[in-house]
Each structure stands twice: as C-alpha cells, then as structure tokens.
Chain A
C-alpha cells in the first residue's frame, strides 16, 4: 500500500476479532505466544470459533491533510475499537493502518493523566508522553492554561476535577501539541456547550495542518465539522460519503422502515403523559381563524391552536405550552403561556377552551411535529402530540427553518 502525496492516513481492510468467551481469546493468545517463541509470524485467521465476532471487519478509508472524517454508528458498532486501532492502542487481526507523521488521541478522558498530580504537573507529564521536553512544554504552557480556562484549579490534583474540566485540560494539551492527526472520541460531549464550540473552533483552525477522525453521536457536530463520514454497522462500513447522506442512512438504520415514521416521531415528541385523575376531556388541534381543524397552512398565514380540557382542582400556576419540531427533530420554537402577563385562572370541574394565535406564520415549508402540554408549575399534568402540520410554500426560495419578516435597504453608496 503506497501513500499518496498529502495522504496522512490510510486504512486498508482493517479487522479486529473479539470473543465473548475468555477461553477462546486465551487459546488464540497461546497460539500467538507459541509462534512468537518459535519466531513465526501470527497465524492468519482462517476460522472463527464459537463466541467470537468481528468488532471491525474490512474497514478501509484514507484521509488527507486538512480533512475531517466523522464516524457514526450505534453503540457497539466498532467506533471506539477503530479509534484504538488507529491510535495504536490495539493491534488489528487483519489489515493495515499507515500513519504519516505524529498523532494524538482523545479516546479515554483519563489517558495519560496522573490523578494525584496537579493539573500543572500533568501538562508536563502528558507532554513527556507525547515526546515533548520540559522546555518545549514551558513554551506552550501559557497557551494551554489560557485555553483550558481552569484558573487556580490548575494547582489542584486532577482527581478533584469534574469530567468537563478534565476534558478541557486534555483537549488544551492535545491541540497545543500540533499533531498531524487527531483522533477524537465522544469526549467532546463532556464539556459545556460554550467550551465545545471553542474546541470545534480550534479544530477548524487546525484544519489546514492536520487531519481528524471524529467519533460522535452528535449529528450536528458531524455535519458541521466533517468533510466525509462513515457509518459503521456491526463492524463494517455501511456507508462512506458526505455527512448529510451518512446521517440520513444512520437515521434510517436507527428507525427501521417498518416502524420508521412512527418511531422517529415518538423519539422526537418524547414520552406522552396524561394524569387522568387531574385533567380530563383534553382536546387540541391546529385550526384556522374559524376554529376549523387544519393539517396544512401556507407560510405567512395566521395559525391557531385550539385546546380545551377540564381540571378537577384549581392549578396554582397553570402553564400551557406548545413546543414545535421539524420532521428531522430540529427544535424550532415553543409557544408558552409563561410569557403572558396575566395569570391563567381556570375554574375547576369546568371545561375551558384556549386559543393560541400565531400571526404571520414564519415557518418555512415542511412538516412540523408538536406537543401540547399542560403543567402546574414544575409538575406536568398532560403532554400529548398535536396532529402533524404541513407548511406549504408561497415563495420560491427560503433558508433554514424560519423566514422572519425582513427587508434590505442600501444606506451608503460609495462612488469613486
């Protein structure tokens, strides 16, 4: 296998065999040990024994400098095994990995950290692991400290850090090393949102000099950050291509065809709930100004939701809410009575009807899912899905989920 110019990673028919039976693993190990003592190379895997399975099978791809590859798949699909093989933490049973230049991996959060030592000491320890001298680390020390935002906690033992702090420190050290290749597991999901964005932004800055393999369950991270993505399924590459397509295939795998729409809808709308002892005769639907149920509407028209129910007591803090999602699960907005100035007082044992009005609906064309929720303060009394709403197009072009009223004016015209 020859590496092409600017290709920094080549993976060819990479396979890793695992066994659920420890005896089988030991048996294979004994054979390898015996062959090693005799100076022979490992025996090719000709047959799989009972209890063995391919954690990865025939995985091939290559990566050029500046590229980022996303790896998605279910739990147990082989994502972390793939990263461990790329990072050299495990040896494959078949196939080959070729890496040009130095690499760094963020697979396990505690990797390379001595938990009893301070954050400061660990910066130098981790640097030593990556082959950096104390002097080299001293040069980048301030940069690491600045990026990690740990403040005085840098003096404290790492064992006192939260997982978010640990991730910040690990990531800061890693990027300061300027590796040619970075393998990142789900770890970026640990930190807070702002720091995650900071990490992604730093990774983007490093894109010209480095290549990345990113394992994530966050489809938005994969979509935003990766040039390509592979979908791993039961250890094999089910798809390789543009992230959007990879995500679509992954979603399809996640929701098998037979139950796809319903399962996906349920996952987006989350568990439904009805405290029938407190709330009864609940009815809610999208409607027009006349109160007639509708399932379609055009962008820009007024949309209404009619809801009626009866409670057996007077809620102290009645809140009604309608969260809205796109068909893909993107959270669009929510309409809540919490924004009302006046409290919502209702009479117990009396059916009450509410009307929500959304003038000039700004949703872009598409199918929208929504819930109707009734809560008494923090306590949910009811949560049920509204009929699906389809928004039809009135204009040829639109972007994103909503089109807000807007106009452009030219204020200054520079004339030579």
Chain B
C-alpha cells in the first residue's frame, strides 16, 4: 500500500517507466525492508505448510532437501562414479548438487511465486518482491541443510577444503545475482507466455548433466566451448575450484560471467519493477 508523506504521487500509464535501474533496485530493497516482518511470517507459514498434517512433522523439512544428495552419495559409495580431479566422488557430487539446487532455486523461485501469487498480491497488498524473498528464505534453509550434509561428507571422506574456501561466498555472489536476475526476468515472461516455466524445467532437467555437477567439465571439443557460455558450469566449476584447489582455473570466463551477472541483475530488477503492476491479476 503506497504511503508517501507530504508529496504528490502521480499514477499514470507510464508510471515507473522513467525510473532508472538504480531507482528500481532501491525501491525493491526498500519494499523488502518494509515488509521484512511479513516475509518472516510467510517463511514460517511455508515452513509449517511443508510438514503440515504429516506424522513425522518437522523431520520432513530436514530430510526432503537431502534426498537428492543422499542418492548421489549412495551412487558414489557403490562406485558408480570415480574420483574426480583428486576430489572424492561423494564430496564432488554432493557439493556440486548443493550448488546446482541453490542456483536453479534462484531461477525457479521467482517464476513460481509470480505465477502463484500474482492475483493475490493485488488483493493482499503484499508485494511480489516480498513473496519472492520469502521463497528465497526457504531456499536458503534447504541450502544450509544440504551444506550440513556436505560438511559431514567432507569429514568422512577427508577431502579437506583449502583455506581459500572462505572466499566461497564472494565467488557465489555474482552467481546468485545472475540466477536471481534470470528468475525475475523469466517470472515476468512466464505471465506473458505460459510455456516459459515448462521450457525452463526441461532445460534444467538436462542442464544438470552438462554443467559439471555430476561429471567434470569436458576440456576439449564442442562441450568444452559450450561450458564457457553455460553460467551454471562456469560458476559451479569456479566455486568447486576455490574450495578444493584454492584458485579459479578459468578466471577469465568467471570474470566475464560476473560482468554479465551484474548487467542481468540490474536490467531484470528494472524490468520486474516496471512490469510488476502491469502483470497484476493475470494468471
């Protein structure tokens, strides 16, 4: 609900169109700050809804995010996968899968939230940006649970990380900006073309096999060239390299992708900011 003291507010068809990207980001951040208490409650609601009516209750919130990781851990134990790049296969896989789910979560969450809460957003005055952040909070929880398991795997396989792994959050930051940006953009696009979410799902199903999540990236041939343009591959490879080798091997690709990430995030925030009121009520 708009609340502006002692100033004239003008509402017209081109509202927000003249605002720049930085104003859009500032507005979205201030909206999130204003609704921080609501976000906390919505997150709690979603958290409770995940186990509501079940016999084991809270247990499911911790177990379900771990299922994909435990599958790959099990497969590595039965020797389906060899050790990769000097890293134990279980560690390689669980680490990669954790990053993969974090990244695709950043893409899918805005798409899902915009689709499911678009109509409600107008009636409840709870902005879509706040709903998306509540969705990210759930994603963060799942990621932390997975990280705990990765830590256990690392300890059991003794694939100790380098001290440079402390830089992991910094290395992750542009990746998160990029995938959140892509998610916001596709979230809007999905309201216009309903096929978008389905296409994204299909692409991501295949994507896990060509992004260095389960298998190492190819060094030669067409796939190696493709890897340079695959943001998932670039960021997962960079994060894994920092944690287990202490340095990013293909730093130029990482740097280029970071630049793209910044541009994508800024443009997407503006696109989301402008389109949010225009897509209201359309499901």
The stretch of B105-113, B176-184, B247-255, B269-277 that contacts the partner chain = B269-277
Q: Kindly state the separation between the CA atoms of A89 and B121 in the bound complex, as whole angstroms.
A: 9
- Report the minimal beta-carbon distance from B27 to chain A, rounded to whole angstroms: 13
Within 8 A of B (CB), among A1-35: 3, 22, 25-26, 29-30, 32-33
Bound complex: CA of A274 vs CA of B14, how far in Å?
A: 61
Q: A128 to B34, Cβ gap below 8 A? A: yes
Answer yes or no: B77 CB below 8 A from chain A CBs.
no
Q: Report if A42-B14 is in contact (Cβ < 8 Å); known contacts: A22-B282, A102-B5, A112-B126.
A: yes
Residue A103 CB within 8 A of the other chain: yes
Interface range on chain A (Cβ under 8 Å from partner):
35 or more
Render A111-125 as a binary contact track against B, CB cut-off 8 A, 1 for contact. Answer: 111101100010011
Residues from chain A with Cβ under 8 Å of B36 in the complex: 128
A263 at the interface (CB under 8 A from B): no
Do A111 and B11 form a contact, CB below 8 Å, given A87-B2, A129-B34, A129-B38?
no
CA distance A407 to B161 in the complex (A): 100
Q: Which of A33, A97, A99 is packed against the most chain B CB atoms within 10 Å?
A: A33
Whether A108 contacts B5 by the Cβ 8 Å rule is no
CB-defined contacts of A85 to chain B, threshold 8 Å? 11
Do the beta carbons of A114 and B38 come within 8 Å of each other? Answer: yes
Residues of the B chain whose Cβ atoms lie less than 8 Å from the Cβ of A32: 275, 278
B17 at interface, CB cutoff 8 A: yes
User: SS class of chain A's interface: helix, strand, loop or mixed?
Assistant: mixed
Given A95-B12, A111-B124: A117 in contact with B193 (beta carbons within 8 A)? no
Decide: B275 and A101 in contact? CB cutoff 8 A: no
Q: How many residues of B contact A (CB 8 A)?
A: 44
Cβ contact of B193, chosen from A26, A37, A90, A99, cutoff 8 A: A26
**Are A108 and B123 in contact, with the CB atoms below 8 A?**
yes
Report the separation of the CA atoms of residues A97 and B12 in the bound assembly, to the nearest whole angstrom: 7
List chain B residues, Cβ under 8 A from A130. 1, 3
From known contacts A25-B282, A89-B280, A131-B34, infer whether A114 and B42 are also in contact, taking CB-CB under 8 Å. Answer: yes
Also in contact, A112 and B192, with CB within 8 A (given A29-B278, A97-B12, A129-B34): no
Could you give, for residues 27-50 of chain B, a 1 whenever the CB lies within 8 Å of some chain A CB and a 0 otherwise? 000000011111001101100000
Known contacts A110-B124, A124-B37; A26/B278 CB under 8 A: no
Q: Which residues of A contact B13 (CB under 8 A)?
A: 42, 91-95
Instruction: Give min CB distance, B60 to chain A, whole Å.
Output: 19
Distance between Cα atoms of A29 and B275 in the complex (Å): 9
Is A116 a contact partner of B41 (Cβ separation < 8 A)?
yes
Cβ distance B93 to chain A, nearest Cβ, rounded Å: 38
Most A Cβ at <10 Å: residue of B6, B17, B191: B17
| B205 interfacial by beta-carbon distance below 8 Å | no
B9 at the interface (CB under 8 A from A): yes
What are the interface flags for B1-23 relative to A under an 8 Å C-beta threshold, 1 for contact and 0 otherwise? 11111111111111101000000
Interface string of A40-71 (1 = CB under 8 A from B): 01100000000000000000000000000000
A33 to B125, CA, bound (A): 23
Chain A residues whose C-beta falls within 8 Å of the C-beta of B281 in the assembled complex:
90
Contacts of B10 in A (CB 8 A): 96-99
A377 within 8 A of B: no
By a CB distance below 8 angstroms, the chain A residues around B38 are 114, 125, 128-129
Partner of A36, one of B8, B17, B125: B17
* The one of B1, B11, B42 that contacts A112, using a Cβ cutoff of 8 Å: B1
B125 touches A116 (CB 8 A): no
Which residues of chain A have C-beta atoms less than 8 A from B124's C-beta? 108, 110-113
Which of B15, B192, B279, B280 has the most chain A CB atoms inside 10 A of its CB?
B192
Q: List 21 A-B residue pairs with CB atoms under 8 Å apart, sorted by A's residue number.
A: A3-B8, A25-B282, A30-B192, A41-B14, A84-B122, A88-B2, A88-B11, A91-B15, A94-B13, A95-B13, A100-B9, A101-B7, A102-B2, A102-B3, A108-B123, A108-B125, A125-B41, A128-B36, A129-B35, A129-B38, A131-B5
